[in-house]
Chains A and B, each alone.
Chain A
């Protein structure tokens, strides 16, 4: 089954404790992306990757890191989480090109206290 998986689905952590949210897709997509969703603000892009070893900042990259060592994986790293990073996070993937649909993972609900 074609899918994007994320782990963990739910995470409660404390300020400053490094964490990683994993993302994996099995559709051989070149393009992968991370979004955060906050009430009234829609989906805002954090980082994206056009291919292996190619990553770039989205609209709200501060406080986040990513890496793309393999085509299928695109982990999101929060080196020192803060309460304003409490949010719902989605990983997504698609083929390169503006006319391809994006496939989203199930989401990770992160709470930073």
Chain B
């Protein structure tokens, strides 16, 4: 099955700096790569996603890049703000008969210091 590795496990930045979180996946059939933000005591919230036919996608301060050849994708947050502090998860969809099945990375705890 699919395996997703996420790095770093913790990331601390100053307000206004950029933050980058990287993930690798193992299944070349994966074709959908979402990123979720999870705040304490809440369910994961979808913040951005990318499909295999696109190399990069941007939404205001958040961008995601995908390299299918290398099987890795990254989340970029620019001009970080304290409210960006949360746990971020990457995920990959393994496709096939279970199109929507997501395999998650282990998560990155992002702390943005004012």
**Is chain B found bound to chain A in the same assembly?**
no
Q: Hey, which bits of chain A sit against chain B, CB under 8 A?
A: none
